[in-house]
Structures are given as C-alpha cells and as structure tokens.
C-alpha cells in the first residue's frame, strides 16, 4: 500500500482522516468535521489534484494553511467553513499575487483536511507534504520556520468576519504569541494562512509525501479491520513503528493552561506488559513515553495512543480513566531530527531540559 | 486665552501636556515622554501645522492615531518613538494612498502628543480636534465609531518590529478586543493607526478644537501659578467647570483587571466641604463622582482630580492614601451627549446600568 496520491478522491477521505488522526499523536484537532466538508466539496464535483514535491515548479507560490485554536473547542464550535479561504485571500492581498498551490501546515489532525477544503473552494492543488509530519502545539514548530522561511506575512480569519494580518514580526515565536492571543479572543478557532514561499524552498523543507502517507496509514487500519487482522500491528508495520505497551489508564491529570491541554497519564501494563508501569506526558500532543520511570520515546518521535481493540487513535480530549490502550512509538522524519530542528521541536522546547532526544529504537530491537 | 493654534511650537508643549493630562481625567497615559519626543522634533526644525476643522478639505484622507496599552506600563516601558509612524505606514499600505493629515484618537493624556510626534516625523499636519474630547479606556468609545466611520483597517506596531493589521472586524468592539489581546502580548504598549476617513466626515464627527483647548487650558494653569492665582479656579473658569469637593483620600482600592486599572476612592471633604463624604469610581479614567452617596457627575462628563495646592492633575496610578485633592466636574462636548454617544460612552457602557446620565450642573448653580 504505497501507491502515491495524485488526486484526493471521495474514497481517500476516510483513510486520510484516520491516518491524520494517528499522526496527530493525540492533538492536532479532530479531522472529522473537515472530512465532511471536503466530502461535500468533492461530491459537488470539485477536483483537488495532489502535486508530489518533485513535480512542484521552483517558482510556484505556495502558502501553508491550517486551523489554529484549542482542539477541545473545535469539538463544539464548528467552523463556518471558509476561514482558511479568507485567510488565504488576505495573504494573497499582502503579497499582491495569486497563490499556485496550498500545503498543510500540519498533517497530524484536522489540519490535514483544511488545505484540501480550501483547495477545493479555490480551485487549487495541494502539495504532497506538510510542515510538521505530525502535530505540534505552536506555529514556530514548523519546518518552514526551522529551515529559514519566515511565516510572515500571515493572516488569520474567523467565522465572525475578523481578518487580522501579521505583516511583520521579529520572529515566528512572536507570530505564534500574537496569533494565539487573537485566536483566544476570536473564541479559540480560526483559519490561518502563513509563509508564502517558493516551490524551490518547499521541496527542501517540507516533510515529503505526508498526504499520501496519512492516506496509506489510514487505509492500512481500515483494511486490517475489514480483514480481521490486528489494526495496531497494521499501524506498526505501515510506519515502521514499535509497540511500547498495552496498558490501562490508571490515573489521568489534564488541565487547560494558556489555551493548551497539559497533563499526564499513568499506565498499568497488561498482556505482554503485565507488571510494567508507564507514563505519558502531554501538551496538546503526547510528548514523552516513560516505562518504569525511564524515557523511551520522546518528541519529535511520535508517541501514539490507540484503542487497544479497534486500533483507532485516541486524542487527548477523549482520554478517560480505565481506558485500555496500545501505545506505539513511530519514528519522525529525518528533517525533524537535525540539530536545528531539535532546537525548536526537541524535548527542551517543551520544558524538558533534562531529557536528551535519542531516536527511538526501531521495530524488533530490544527496548 | 482663546487664540487658536495654527502651528505647534516649543512654547505650546508644556501647556499642552498639562491641559491634556487634565482632560485625561486620571487616565489616558502620561503625556510627559511624548512631550519630550515632540520637543526633540521641533528643536530639529520640524514644523507641525495645525488645521482647524473648518479648513480641512472634504476629500483629505485623515487617520486617527494613538498609543494603546496600560498607562501604568507606559511609566516604565518607554516607547521606541516610531511605533505610531509604523502603524500609520501600515494603514497607508492598506488603503493604497498617502495620508494628508493626522488626528488624535484621544486628546486626554499621552495621545495628545502621539499625532504631533508622528506628524513631525512624517511631515504632516495635525487636525485641531480628536475622537474623544477626553480619555476613554476602549477604542470603540470614539466619535468616529459612534457617528458611523468604521475603525478598520487599523494597524498596530510595537517597538520590537511587530506590525499587525486589522483588515476587517464585524464591529469596532471586536477591533478593541483583538487589539487589546495583541497589545498585552506585545508588552502592554504599542502605536495604533485607525479609521482612515475623509475630511468631510472628520468635520462632522471630531470633537472640535481640542488641541487648542488643551493648550489653552494648560496655559491657564501655568499662568495662574506664575501670577499666584488659584490654579484650580483657573481650570474651572477656562472649562466652565465646577468645584465638586476639596477632599482627603481616606481609602483607596485599585487593582488591575483585564489590563485596566479599576477601583474606587473614598473621600473626606475639607474646607468648604467639611463633613461631606465622597466617592470616585475609576476604570482607567475617573468615571463617577458621588457626594454622600448620590451621583453628581458621571461619564461622559469629566471628573477631574487635581492636587489641591498646585492644580496639577493626578492620574489614577499616582493616587495615594491621604492625598489632598480638588475634584472638579467639567462638561463634556455635546457630541458625547447624544443618545447614540451615550449608548457607547454613557454610564451603562461601564457597567453602571442603574445610573442615568444627567448633564452636570453648570458653574454657579446649586448642587
């Protein structure tokens, strides 16, 4: 199941939803509403071509798109549906030029769907890649920024008619802070268009093929379920990941802090992991997995929580005491493991100054 | 002392500072730093012509300028000096046209100086008027907005290089909320340019002649002090105001709430007011004066607190227990007393739903 997407079709959407949610590592927002909107567009006959990175013209103008806000709010406050389109138009006004293609800021979670929806509305293609290869909580945690492309001018639009343009900021962290302030005022959900950039740069800096990757990953889960195979194993096989633990949630601490879901899970192993204890730390996304007090997998590698039975991903807002889960580690892309990337998305960037990132051990190795 | 300003000269600045601070009714920020910057500009030979409203061409493009932030922060965090200029340039970019003249958003407090400083930097004239005729805590409390001119596009710039453009908002209250969120993130001080508008509208909606008014008011205080006359009486005479009480501050409650200074003063009368008790409520500005539990003067009329001896204005952040003060009521301009104005700047807009605005009794009447 490695065939490459050339166009988003109705058949891809369910698979993409599941794959994107798995890559969201508990955060990134639920892609469900976005999927429904995309489905509506495709049923109306709109086409969304997918451009592989190597076919993207060097001089193409590409804009990075995504929703910004608190996932827990997105569950109840449904977007009007053209937030990202209005943000895109505002960035086009800023640069005085029409955009040639859209790319997802973040393949993990709901932002997998936003560029597809906007592409359908605007009659544009999407690029097969994204700026995170997973989900991250803040906007400067993106390969555009890490590899030298400023995210300004950026524009944010909400469902009420507010359009705010961030014309210049001294850093992308400043953009994050200002956009975060605005989105809280807007009611914790808005569309954001950022980082107008050339194809030549996107080819170097995007995490490649992640739209295809998410679709293929979701398809692997769907097919495993249809064929009565173990869906958890299907995820591991598809992503070259590793089963870290099957466990019951024995304690759950989770609160909102500055618009983010922050907390930790305590785990009691079962099955092959009987007797083990575990802990997962989260900041919107699952960041750190510890077994018996020792860090085993940490950000930017992916800590994924699946329902132990169905293999479907569990997001941080769906966690509850007593849940039986499978915890997987999935290796992140090499572009997130460079020193310049780790300075922005490594454990220290999340406040874990005493944890050094060690790439997770691959499948089949002893832990 | 009713001569009309045609140009801001070095001699006007000290008087303007005092007059603007009095019209600030305790808020609006301290004009002192702005005065020093304006002085520097004028000493360099820059000219700042003042255009009376009736000479403003109908098709002139005018932009409203001011600082936004917490006055108490402005005391320690000094602006870099070109914040409003950068905000002005951003609005010019938005409308695709150079601005012909600047007008103060708010004559009361530091925003009396900001347009003069920016005018000197940009080589523009200032209009003799403003959008408040005093100081108010929020941006929608401005005659542009009250009389039908939207404040967007607006732009905000800080000393760090952030430039945020508010391109569209569904209301000026939304602009206020978004700009307030951003300025808190920026460190509670920024320059704001808003409401690009035509001369024809400015003539109808501006509180007229307030630059001249502030200069003349300050000059009255300075001359009274120089001539050993009572400066408090000079303010009353100049503004057709009324002495409400001479009093000692017997209790002071003041805290920061959502970026605003909120609180109340308890007063014990002395001199002719011996035996009276009073109370002043404040939200950045002094809003309500009560004598013996009865409201006597309330917003939008001006409640002014002066040092009982020097006649110099006391801002909310300078209040302290035991201070001996003179409280004056000054009548606001008729443009703030219309039903559409009172809906935005009357007592109910500040949460006083049980207080009806009654124009303050003029000088010499019995209270």
- Give me the residue spans of the domains in chain B: 7-210, 231-350
Separation in Å, CA A210 to CA A106, A176, A206: 9, 24, 9
**What per-residue confidence (pLDDT) applies to A259?**
67
Q: Which residue's structure tokens are 């035509």?
A: B198
Q: Is A332 on the interface with B (CB under 8 A)?
A: no
B145/chain A closest Cα distance in angstroms:
17
Task: Label each residue of A259-319 as H, E or C.
Answer: CEEEEEEEEEECHHHCCCEEEEEEECEEEEEEECCEEEEECCCEEEEEECCCCCECCHHHC
- Which of B161, B167, B180 faces A165 most closely, judged by CB atoms? B167
What residues of chain B, 100 to 159, have a C-beta less than 8 Å from chain A? 155
Q: Which class in CATH covers the domain with range B231-350?
A: mainly beta
Q: Which two tokens stand for residue A96?
A: 């005085």
Separation CA B1–CA A366 (nearest Å): 91
Interface residue of A182, A184, A190, A259 to substitute, partner B, most B CBs within 10 Å: A182
Q: Which two tokens stand for residue B127?
A: 């209009």
Separation CA B237–CA B217 (nearest Å): 9
Which residue does chain A place closest to B169, by CA atoms? A162
pLDDT mean over B194-215: 98
Q: Is there a contact between B178 and A182 if contact means CB atoms under 8 Å apart?
A: yes
What average pLDDT does the structure give for chain B? 93
**What per-residue confidence (pLDDT) applies to A367?**
43
Q: Is A95 on the interface with B (CB under 8 A)?
A: no
pLDDT mean over B61-73: 83
**What per-residue confidence (pLDDT) applies to B50?**
98
**What per-residue confidence (pLDDT) applies to B1?**
46
Chain B partners within 8 Å of A180 (Cβ): 185
- Which of B90, B162, B170 faces A160 most closely, judged by CB atoms? B170
Q: Is there a contact between B170 and A178 if contact means CB atoms under 8 Å apart?
A: no
A242-257 and A324-330 as β-strands: parallel, antiparallel, unpaired? Answer: antiparallel
**What per-residue confidence (pLDDT) applies to A1?**
46
Query: Tens-of-pLDDT digits for all 367 residues of chain A?
Result: 457 899 999 999 999 999 999 999 999 988 999 999 999 999 999 999 999 999 999 999 999 999 988 655 555 666 778 999 999 999 999 999 999 999 999 999 999 999 999 999 999 999 999 999 999 999 899 999 999 999 999 999 999 999 999 999 999 999 999 999 999 899 878 999 999 999 999 999 999 999 999 999 999 999 999 999 999 999 999 999 999 999 999 999 988 876 678 999 999 999 999 999 999 999 989 999 999 999 999 999 999 999 988 889 998 888 999 999 999 999 999 999 999 999 999 999 999 999 999 999 876 554 4
Separation in Å, CA A108 to CA A53, A196, A239, A342: 19, 21, 14, 19
B166/chain A closest Cα distance in angstroms:
5
A212/chain B closest Cα distance in angstroms:
36
Q: Is there a contact between A178 and B161 if contact means CB atoms under 8 Å apart?
A: no
Q: Is the pLDDT of residue B54 over 60?
A: yes
Torsion of CA B176, B181, B185, B186, to 10 degrees: -10
Q: Of how many residues is chain A composed? A: 367
Q: Is B166 on the interface with A (CB under 8 A)?
A: yes
Q: Is the pLDDT of residue B362 over 90?
A: no
**What per-residue confidence (pLDDT) applies to B208?**
98
Chain A partners within 8 Å of B168 (Cβ): 161-163
Which residue does chain B place closest to A164, by CA atoms? B166
> What is the Cα B218 distance to its own chain's centre?
14
Q: Is there a contact between B169 and A162 if contact means CB atoms under 8 Å apart?
A: yes
Interface residue of A82, A87, A164, A186 to substitute, partner B, most B CBs within 10 Å: A164
A79/chain B closest Cα distance in angstroms:
16
**What per-residue confidence (pLDDT) applies to B366?**
47
Q: Is A186 on the interface with B (CB under 8 A)?
A: yes
Separation CA A187–CA A20 (nearest Å): 24
Separation in Å, CA A218 to CA A103, A114, A231, A328: 20, 18, 10, 15
pLDDT tens digit string along B111-139? 999 999 999 999 999 999 999 999 999 98
Chain A partners within 8 Å of B174 (Cβ): 160, 162
Chain A partners within 8 Å of B160 (Cβ): 170, 174
Separation CA A159–CA A102 (nearest Å): 21
Cβ count near B121 (within 10 Å): 17
Separation CA A347–CA A352 (nearest Å): 5
The domains spanning B7-210 and B231-350 adopt the same CATH topology: no
pLDDT band at B81 (very low <50, low <70, confident <90, very high): confident
Q: Is there a contact between B177 and A164 if contact means CB atoms under 8 Å apart?
A: no
Q: Is A184 on the interface with B (CB under 8 A)?
A: yes
- Which of B160, B178, B186 faces A164 most closely, judged by CB atoms? B178
Q: Is there a contact between B161 and A170 if contact means CB atoms under 8 Å apart?
A: yes
Q: Which residue's structure tokens are 């802090």?
A: A257
Q: Is there a contact between B163 and A167 if contact means CB atoms under 8 Å apart?
A: yes
Task: Label each residue of chain B as H, E or C.
Answer: CCCCCCEECHHHHHHHHHHHHHHCCCCCCCCHHHHHHHHHHHHCCCCEEEECHHHCCCCCEEEEEEEEECHHHHCCCCCCCCHHHHHHHHHHHHHCCCCCEEEECCCCHHHHCHHHHHHHHHCCCEEEEECCCCCCCCCCCCHHHHCCCCCCCEEEECCCCCEEEEEECCCHHHHHHHHHHHHHHHCCEEEEEEEEEEHHHHHHHCEECHHHHHHHHHHHHHHHHHCCCCHHHHHHHHHCCEEEEEEEEEEEEEEEECCEEEEEEEEEECHHHCCCEEEEEEECEEEEEEECCEEEEECCCEEEEEECCCCCECCHHHCCCCCEEEEEEECCCHHHCCHHHHHHHCHHHHCCCCCCCCCCCCCCCCC
Separation CA B155–CA B91 (nearest Å): 6
**What per-residue confidence (pLDDT) applies to B259?**
67
Higher pLDDT among residues B261 and A352, named by residue? A352
A175/chain B closest Cα distance in angstroms:
8
Question: How many percent of chain B have pLDDT more than 70?
Answer: 95
Q: Is there a contact between A181 and B177 if contact means CB atoms under 8 Å apart?
A: no
Q: Is there a contact between B167 and A164 if contact means CB atoms under 8 Å apart?
A: yes
- Which of B155, B164, B167 faces A90 most closely, judged by CB atoms? B167
Chain A partners within 8 Å of B162 (Cβ): 166, 168-170, 174, 178
pLDDT mean over B245-274: 91
pLDDT mean over B260-289: 95
Q: Is there a contact between A170 and B162 if contact means CB atoms under 8 Å apart?
A: yes
Chain B partners within 8 Å of A163 (Cβ): 166-169
Q: Is A187 on the interface with B (CB under 8 A)?
A: no
Chain B partners within 8 Å of A165 (Cβ): 164-167
The CATH number, out of the four listed (3.40.1610.10, 3.40.1580.10, 3.90.170.10, 3.40.50.1820), of the domain defined by the range A7-210: 3.40.1610.10
Separation in Å, CA A139 to CA A28, A67, A178: 12, 11, 11
**What per-residue confidence (pLDDT) applies to B2?**
54
* Pairs of CB atoms within 8 A across A/B: 66
Q: Is B259 on the interface with A (CB under 8 A)?
A: no
A189-198 and A126-130 as β-strands: parallel, antiparallel, unpaired? Answer: unpaired
Chain A partners within 8 Å of B187 (Cβ): none
Q: Is A166 on the interface with B (CB under 8 A)?
A: yes
Interface residue of B182, B183, B259 to substitute, partner A, most A CBs within 10 Å: B182
> What is the Cα B15 distance to its own chain's centre?
15
Separation in Å, CA A75 to CA A29, A32, A105, B294: 8, 10, 20, 50
Q: Is B353 on the interface with A (CB under 8 A)?
A: no
A99/chain B closest Cα distance in angstroms:
20
């Amino acid at each position: 199941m490695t065939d490459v997407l050339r166009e988003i079709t109705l058949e891809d959407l369910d698979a993409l939803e599941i794959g994107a949610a798995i890559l969201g590592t508990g955060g990134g927002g639920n892609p469900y509403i976005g999927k429904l909107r995309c489905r509506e567009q495709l049923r109306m006959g709109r086409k969304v071509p997918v451009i592989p990175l190597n076919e993207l013209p060097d001089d193409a103008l590409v804009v990075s798109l995504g929703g910004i806000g608190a996932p827990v709010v997105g569950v109840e406050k449904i977007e009007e549906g053209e937030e990202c389109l209005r943000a895109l138009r505002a960035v086009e006004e800023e640069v005085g030029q029409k955009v040639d293609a859209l790319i997802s800021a973040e393949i993990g979670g709901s932002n997998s769907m936003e560029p597809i929806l906007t592409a359908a509305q605007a009659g544009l293609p999407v690029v097969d890649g994204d700026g995170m290869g997973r989900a991250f909580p803040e906007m400067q945690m993106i390969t555009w920024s890490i590899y030298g492309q400023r995210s300004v001018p950026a524009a944010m639009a909400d469902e009420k008619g507010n359009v705010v343009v961030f014309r210049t900021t001294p850093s992308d962290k400043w953009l994050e802070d200002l956009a975060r302030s605005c989105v809280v005022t807007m009611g914790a959900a808005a569309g954001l268009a950022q980082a107008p950039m050339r194809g030549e740069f996107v080819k170097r800096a995007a995490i490649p093929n992640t739209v295809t990757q998410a679709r293929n990953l979701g398809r692997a889960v769907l097919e495993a379920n249809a064929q009565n195979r173990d869906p958890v194993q299907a995820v591991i096989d598809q992503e070259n990941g590793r089963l870290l633990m099957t466990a019951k949630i024995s304690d759950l601490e989770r609160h909102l802090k500055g618009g983010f879901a922050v907390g930790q899970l305590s785990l009691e192993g079962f099955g092959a992991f009987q007797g083990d204890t575990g802990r997962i730390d989260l900041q919107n996304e699952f960041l750190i997995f510890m077994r018996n007090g020792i860090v085993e997998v940490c950000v930017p590698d992916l800590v994924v929580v699946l329902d132990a039975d169905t293999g479907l991903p569990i997001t941080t807002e769906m966690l509850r005491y007593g849940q039986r889960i499978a915890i997987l580690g999935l290796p992140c892309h090499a572009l997130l493991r460079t020193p310049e990337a780790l300075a922005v998305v490594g454990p220290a960037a999340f406040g874990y100054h005493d944890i050094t990132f060690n790439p997770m051990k691959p499948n089949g190795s002893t832990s």
